[in-house]
C-alpha cells in the first residue's frame, strides 16, 4: 500500500507530518513495476529504478545514464540499460533473503525526497524459520554524480549462525530483451570489484567499481567473521563475506560504487577505480549528498498548507525532475520518462522545452541553460533534417538523441502485430517553434544576453529560415498556409493549417525579427556574422514580416473561437460521457482511423496555444475556446500533457474547482498510477506541468517586464501557498495566504479574473491615479520642468512635456537631458530642484482644483460601499490630497513611498489592493497615462482610461474625463466591455 491517497493521510501524518516521504507499507507484487518507477533515484547523471537489491521475479531493474545511446532496430537508437550496480545478496543459513521466499512479517519502503534516499525495512522469517530485520538504504550522490551507495543493516531476532553477503554487478543487463553491452574486462581483489564494458555499436565505454565495507554493531558484541572468498555467480568475480551472527546483534554492510563513461573521460575504468580508492566512508558521502539536496530544496520547495495530498505530490513531481536535470553536461536533455523507464527509448521531445524548462528557468537557470544548449549542439542535425526534407534552415527532430537527427520510428507494430505508419517524425513540425519559444522565454526571464548572443540567437534565426521555406502562398485566400502537419493533438494527423502550429510560427517570426534588431544594437559583430552565415538579407526579413501578417488562421471574429485545423468543425461530435466508465483512451476504444474522423482530442492544442501566448488573448477568446474544446478532450486517458495546462486555464477562467480536478489528474499520475502506465517510467512533462499549474494557475503568477507578479487563485482547501522564483538574478519570495487573498470560500460563485455576461464582474475597489485623474497638476509639473530646463539651457516646451506623461521623475529628467553627459550627483540635485519648484506651485492647490465629476464619483463610491485607494507614483501625493480635501474619501494611499518600482510596473496597484484587502481581480484602476494602464493590466485589474484612444486605448473602457460620470453607469460599462470596442462620449475603442 502506497500512502498517497487522501484516505491515508490522517494515519500518515502521524508518521510523516512534514510530507517529505512516499511510504509503501504493504508489498504488492502486481504493482511491482509501478513502484519501481515511484522509487526511482537520480542525480542529474544517471537514474536507477526502485528495484530490490536482491532482485525479484520478473522485475525490471534499470540504470540509465544521460547520453549513453546505442543503435537499435526500428527506433534507430535508444538509451541503454547499463550494467546494474544494485545486486547485494544475503544468505541466512543457506536461505537467500528475498521478498518472494519465507514470510514477510513487517514491511515498509520509503522515499525521503528531502534527503534523496530510498530505504526499506523488512522483518523476514526464512524458509527455515529464522527471523531477522533488514534495513536497506541507498542514494545516488547529488554531491558527486559518479558515486552511488547502498547500506544494509542486518539484525538477528532469533537467529544464531552463519550469514553470507555477496556483492556484484550484473554485466548482462539488457534493454527490454535487447543486448547492448560487451564486457571488456572485469575482476576483483580483496573487497573490491570492477567491470569495464562497451556498447556494441556506439562504442561508449563504461567503468564501474565497488567496494564492500562491513561494520560491527557498536552497542552489542561484534559479529564473528569467518572468511571472505570468491563464489560463482552472474560474474565469475563476486566477493562474498561470511560472518556469524547472534540474536540481538546487528551487522552493517556498505556497498560504495563509482561509475564513469567515455563521454566524460578517455579512460573510464581507471577513473572509476581511482575515485573509489579516494572515496571516504558511507556516512561522509551521505552527509555531502544530503547537503547538496538541502541547497536545491532551499530554492525549489513549494509549501502548500491545507491539502496534504497536494503537498506531497508537488514535492514528488519536483523531486523527480530535479533528480534528472543534467548538472554538468550540456549535450544531453531530459527524456519523457526521465531516466526511470524505457518508453520512448530515451529520445528527446518537446516535453523538455514546453513543460519542464519553465520550472528550471525560474528556479535553476543554470540547468535550464544546459538543456537549451543541447538544442544548440543539435542544430547540425536539425539542418540535415531540413535539407533532407527539401527545406532551408533548421528543422528540429520530433525525436532526437545524440546528434539531433530524426530518430522517430516510421513504422511500429500495433497490439495485433500490424505495422502502423508514424508521421510525427515527418510532419509534427511545431517542435521547431517550441524550441525557439523556450529559448526566448529563458532569455526574457534570465536576461542572459551572452548566452543569447552565443547560442540562442542562432537557434531562433535559423529555425525562422525553416518556416520561410515551409509555408505556402495561397493565391485564392491571399494568405500563407502550412499544410500536411500534426499538431499537439495527435489524434488527428496530416491536417492543414493547424492553429497551434500556424500561430506559433507567427509568434516565432515576430520574435526573430525583434531579436534580430536587438542583436544589431547590442552585439553588432555577432549580428554581422550570423547575417552572413544564415544569409539574412533584408528581403528575407521582409518576407518573415509578410508571413507573420498573412498566415492563415480560422478564427470567428465575434466569438474568438479558433478552428483547430481546417475541416475540424466538420468532423463528427461525440459525447465522451457516453463511453464512461472506461479504462483506456478513446483511440484505444474506437481505433486510430475512427478517432481521427471525430472531434475527439488527445490533447487540446488550441487551449495549449492560448496558454503559451496567454498575454495575446482576452478572456472572451479563452472562454469561447474552453467551452468548445474542453468537453471534446479525452482528459483521463488521452495525453498526460494536457491536465496540468487545463488546470491553469481553468484558473484563468476562475473555475478553481475544475482546475483542481485537472491538477489532481496530473499530480497523481505516477504516485497513484491513474493512467495505468506508470510502470513505464515517470511522466516528466506532466511533472513539469504540475509545477506550472501550482505557480501559474493557483499562484496566478504573471511574468512582466518588471518581474513576476502574483494574482492568486487558491483552491478552497488551500490556506497557504509559498514558493520562490528567480528573475534576472533576483529572488522573489511569494507567501500567499487564503485570508490575505480574501477570496470567497466557494470559488464557483466568486468573481472571475475578467467579467463575462454570465458571471458579473464584482467590483469591490477602485484605485485612482492622482495627476490627470483627480486633479490636474500637470501644469505645475510643466512649469517646474520648464524652469529647470531654462536654467540648464535646454530647449523645452509643452509638446516635449506631453511626451513625458506618465513617466516618473527620474525618467522625465533623463528624457529632458537626452545625450547630455551628467553625473549621478547632478541628476539628484536637478530632481530635488525641480521638486522644490513643483512644491512651490502646488501650495496654491485648493478643493476647487478637483477635476469635474471627481467629488461626485467619490461620494457615490462611498455610498455604495466600494473601497477607494490612491495609486500614484508621486511622493507628494499625501500633500496634494490633503490640500484637495479628499483624504476622508480614500481608504488607502499608495504612493512613491509605498513601492520601489514605478509604473508601468504593477507594484503600486498591487500594494493598494493588498491594503484594501482585495484581490487584483476585484479592483478597477482609473488612469490617464499609458504606463498606468499597462501597469493595471499587468496587475490583473480592469482599467478605465481617461484621454485619447492613442494614449489609453488599451484600457477596458475609455472616457474623455470623469465629468458627468456616475458609478452605476461606469460599473455597467466595465462589466460589459470585456475588451470589446465600446462607444463612450463619442470615442471608440
DSSP state of 573: P
Three-state SS for 962? coil
Question: Which three cell numbers mark 772?
Answer: 490627470
Cα distance between residue 499 and residue 511, in whole Å? 18
Question: Which three cell numbers mark 777?
Answer: 497638476
Question: Which three cell numbers mark 421?
Answer: 505508419
* Annotation marks residue 490 as catalytic: yes
Would you say 909 and 925 are in contact if contact means Cβ atoms under 8 Å apart? yes
Return the closest-CA partner of residue 589 out of 603, 576, 570. 576
Cα distance between residue 167 and residue 179, in whole Å? 23
Name beta bridge partners: 633: 601
Alpha helices (H) in 247-281, listed in sequence order: 268-278
From the number of C-beta atoms within 10 Å of its C-beta (0-12, 13-18, 19+), residue 71 rates as: middle
Q: Containing H/E element for 824? A: helix 824-842
Cα distance between residue 136 and residue 116, in whole Å? 14
Would you say 629 and 606 are in contact if contact means Cβ atoms under 8 Å apart? yes
Cα distance between residue 599 and residue 564, in whole Å? 10
CA–centroid distance for 13 within its chain: 29
Would you say 710 and 701 are in contact if contact means Cβ atoms under 8 Å apart? yes
Classify residue 67 as left (phi > 0), alpha (psi -120 to 50) or beta.
left
Cα distance between residue 725 and residue 702, in whole Å? 12
DSSP state of 760: -
Would you say 911 and 895 are in contact if contact means Cβ atoms under 8 Å apart? no
Give the CA distances from residue 50 to residues 41, 113, 804, in Å, rounded to whole numbers and listed in that order.
Answer: 7, 14, 63
Rounded to a whole number of angstroms, the distance between the first and last alpha carbons of the chain is 60
Question: Which three cell numbers mark 382?
Answer: 536539425
Place of cell 493557483: 698
The dihedral formed by the CA atoms of 973, 975, 980 and 981, expressed in degrees to the nearest 10: 0
Strands (E), 823-960: 867-871, 892-894, 923-927, 942-946, 957-959
Phi, psi of 386 (to 5 degrees): -60, -45
Name beta bridge partners: 139: 149
Give the CA distances from residue 106 to residues 3, 35, 101, in Å, rounded to whole numbers and listed in that order.
Answer: 16, 18, 14
Name beta bridge partners: 298: none
Catalytic residue (choose from 54, 164, 490, 680): 490
β-pairing verdict for 161-167 and 147-156: unpaired
Give the CA distances from residue 943 to residues 266, 930, 946, 975, in Å, rounded to whole numbers and listed in that order.
Answer: 63, 11, 10, 11
Give the CA distances from residue 516 to residues 321, 459, 548, 773, 982, in Å, rounded to whole numbers and listed in that order.
Answer: 33, 12, 15, 40, 37
Phi, psi of 897 (to 5 degrees): -90, -15
DSSP state of 495: B
Cα distance between residue 263 and residue 808, in whole Å? 55
Cα distance between residue 841 and residue 775, in whole Å? 14
Which sequence positions are flagged as catalytic? 490
Amino acid at each position: 500500500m502506497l500512502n498517497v491517497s487522501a484516505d491515508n493521510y490522517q494515519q500518515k501524518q502521524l508518521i510523516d507530518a512534514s510530507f517529505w516521504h512516499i511510504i509503501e507499507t504493504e508489498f504488492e507484487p502486481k504493482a511491482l513495476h509501478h513502484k519501481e518507477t515511484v522509487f526511482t533515484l537520480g542525480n542529474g547523471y544517471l537514474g536507477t529504478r526502485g528495484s530490490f537489491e536482491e532482485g525479484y521475479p520478473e522485475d525490471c531493474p534499470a540504470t540509465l545514464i544521460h547520453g549513453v545511446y546505442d543503435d537499435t532496430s526500428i527506433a534507430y537508437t535508444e538509451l541503454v540499460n547499463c550494467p546494474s550496480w544494485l545486486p547485494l545478496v544475503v544468505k541466512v543459513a543457506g536461505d537467500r533473503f528475498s521478498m518472494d521466499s519465507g514470510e514477510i512479517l513487517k514491511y515498509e519502503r520509503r522515499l525521503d525526497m528531502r534527503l534523496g534516499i530510498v530505504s526499506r525495512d523488512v522483518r523476514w522469517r526464512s524458509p527455515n524459520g529464522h527471523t531477522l530485520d533488514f534495513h536497506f538504504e541507498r542514494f545516488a550522490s547529488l554531491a558527486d554524480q559518479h558515486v552511488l551507495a547502498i547500506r544494509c543493516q542486518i539484525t538477528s531476532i532469533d537467529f544464531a549462525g552463519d550469514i553470507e553477503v555477496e556483492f556484484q554487478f550484473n554485466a548482462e543487463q539488457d534493454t527490454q530483451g535487447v543486448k547492448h553491452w560487451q564486457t571488456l574486462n572485469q575482476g576483483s581483489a580483496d573487497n573490491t570489484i570492477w567491470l569495464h564494458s562497451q556498447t556494441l555499436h556506439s562504442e561508449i565505454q563504461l567503468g564501474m567499481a565497488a567496494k564492500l565495507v562491513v561494520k560491527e554493531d557498536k552497542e552489542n558484541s561484534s559479529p564473528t567473521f569467518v572468511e571472505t572468498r570468491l563464489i560463482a555467480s552472474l560474474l565469475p568475480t563476486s566477493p562474498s563475506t561470511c560472518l556469524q551472527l547472534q540474536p540481538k546483534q546487528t551487522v552493517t554492510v556498505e556497498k560504495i560504487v563509482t561509475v564513469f563513461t567515455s563521454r566524460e573521460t578517455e579512460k573510464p575504468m581507471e577513473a572509476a577505480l581511482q575515485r573509489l580508492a579516494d572515496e571516504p566512508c558511507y556516512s561522509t558521502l551521505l552527509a555531502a549528498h544530503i547537503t547538496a539536496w538541502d541547497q536545491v530544496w532551499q530554492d525549489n520547495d513549494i509549501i502548500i498548507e491545507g491539502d496534504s495530498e497536494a503537498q506531497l505530490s508537488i514535492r514528488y513531481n519536483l523531486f523527480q525532475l530535479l533528480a534528472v536535470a543534467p548538472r554538468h553536461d550540456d549535450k544531453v536533455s531530459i527524456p519523457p520518462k526521465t531516466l526511470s523507464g524505457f518508453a520512448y527509448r530515451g529520445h528527446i521531445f518537446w516535453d523538455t522545452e514546453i513543460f519542464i524548462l519553465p520550472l528550471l528557468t525560474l528556479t535553476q537557470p543554470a540547468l535550464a541553460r544546459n538543456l537549451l544548449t543541447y538544442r544548440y549542439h543539435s542544430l547540425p542535425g536539425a539542418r540535415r533534417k531540413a535539407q533532407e526534407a527539401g527545406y532551408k534552415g533548421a528543422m528540429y527532430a520530433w525525436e532526437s538523441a545524440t546528434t539531433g537527427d530524426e530518430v522517430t520510428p516510421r513504422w511500429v507494430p500495433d497490439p495485433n502485430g500490424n505495422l502502423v505508419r508514424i508521421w510525427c517524425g515527418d510532419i509534427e513540425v511545431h517542435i521547431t517553434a517550441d524550441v525557439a519559444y523556450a529559448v526566448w522565454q529563458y532569455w526574457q526571464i534570465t536576461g542572459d544576453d551572452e548566452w543569447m548572443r552565443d547560442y540562442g540567437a542562432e537557434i531562433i534565426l535559423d529555425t525562422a529560415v525553416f518556416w520561410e521555406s515551409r509555408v505556402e502562398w495561397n493565391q485564392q485566400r491571399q494568405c500563407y498556409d502550412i499544410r500536411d502537419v500534426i499538431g499537439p493533438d495527435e489524434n488527428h494527423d496530416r491536417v492543414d493549417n493547424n492553429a497551434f502550429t500556424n500561430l506559433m510560427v507567427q509568434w516565432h517570426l515576430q520574435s526573430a525579427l525583434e531579436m534580430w534588431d536587438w542583436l544589431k544594437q547590442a552585439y553588432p559583430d555577432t549580428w554581422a556574422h550570423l547575417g552572413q552565415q544564415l544569409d539574412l538579407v533584408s528581403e528575407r526579413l521582409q518576407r518573415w514580416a509578410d508571413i507573420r501578417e498573412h498566415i492563415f488562421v480560422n478564427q470567428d471574429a465575434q466569438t474568438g473561437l479558433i478552428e483547430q485545423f481546417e475541416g475540424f468543425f466538420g468532423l463528427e461530435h461525440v459525447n465522451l460521457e457516453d463511453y464512461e466508465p472506461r479504462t483506456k483512451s478513446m483511440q484505444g476504444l474506437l481505433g486510430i482511423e475512427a478517432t481521427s474522423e471525430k472531434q475527439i482530442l488527445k490533447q487540446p492544442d488550441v487551449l495549449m496555444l492560448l496558454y503559451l501566448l496567454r498575454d495575446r488573448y482576452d478572456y472572451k477568446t479563452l472562454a469561447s475556446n474552453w467551452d468548445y474544446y474542453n468537453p471534446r478532450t479525452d482528459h483521463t486517458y488521452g495525453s498526460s500533457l494536457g491536465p496540468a495546462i487545463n488546470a491553469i486555464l481553468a484558473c484563468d477562467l476562475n473555475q478553481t474547482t475544475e482546475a483542481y480536478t485537472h491538477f489532481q489528474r496530473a499530480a497523481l499520475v505516477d504516485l497513484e498510477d491513474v493512467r495505468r502506465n506508470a510502470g513505464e517510467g515517470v511522466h516528466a512533462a506532466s511533472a513539469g506541468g504540475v509545477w506550472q499549474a501550482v505557480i501559474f494557475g493557483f499562484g496566478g503568477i504573471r511574468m512582466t517586464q518588471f518581474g513576476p507578479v502574483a494574482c492568486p487563485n487558491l483552491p478552497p482547501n488551500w490556506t497557504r501557498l509559498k514558493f520562490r522564483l528567480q528573475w534576472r538574478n533576483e529572488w522573489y519570495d511569494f507567501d500567499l495566504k487564503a485570508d490575505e487573498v480574501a477570496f470567497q470560500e466557494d470559488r464557483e460563485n466568486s468573481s472571475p479574473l475578467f467579467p463575462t455576461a454570465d458571471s458579473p464582474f464584482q467590483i469591490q475597489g477602485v484605485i485612482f491615479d492622482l495627476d490627470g485623474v483627480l486633479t490636474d497638476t500637470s501644469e505645475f509639473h510643466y512649469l517646474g520642468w520648464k524652469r529647470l530646463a531654462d536654467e540648464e539651457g535646454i530647449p523645452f516646451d509643452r509638446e516635449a512635456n506631453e511626451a513625458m506623461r506618465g513617466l516618473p521623475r527620474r525618467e522625465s529628467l533623463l528624457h529632458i537631458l537626452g545625450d547630455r553627459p551628467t553625473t549621478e550627483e547632478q541628476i539628484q540635485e536637478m530632481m530635488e530642484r525641480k521638486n522644490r519648484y513643483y512644491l512651490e506651485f502646488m501650495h496654491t492647490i485648493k478643493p476647487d482644483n478637483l477635476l469635474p465629476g471627481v467629488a461626485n464619483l467619490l461620494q457615490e463610491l462611498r455610498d455604495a460601499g466600494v473601497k477607494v485607494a490612491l495609486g500614484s507614483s508621486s511622493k507628494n501625493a499625501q500633500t496634494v490630497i490633503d490640500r484637495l480635501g479628499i483624504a476622508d474619501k480614500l481608504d488607502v494611499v499608495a504612493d512613491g513611498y509605498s513601492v520601489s518600482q514605478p509604473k508601468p510596473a504593477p507594484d503600486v496597484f498591487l500594494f493598494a489592493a493588498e491594503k484594501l484587502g482585495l484581490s487584483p481581480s476585484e479592483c478597477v484602476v482609473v488612469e490617464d497615462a499609458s504606463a498606468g494602464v499597462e501597469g493595471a493590466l499587468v496587475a490583473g485589474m480592469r482599467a478605465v482610461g481617461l484621454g485619447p484612444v492613442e494614449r489609453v486605448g488599451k484600457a477596458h473602457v475609455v472616457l474623455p474625463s470623469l465629468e458627468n460620470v456616475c458609478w452605476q453607469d461606469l460599473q455597467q460599462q466595465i462589466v460589459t466591455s470585456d475588451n470589446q470596442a465600446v462607444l463612450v462620449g463619442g470615442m471608440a475603442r
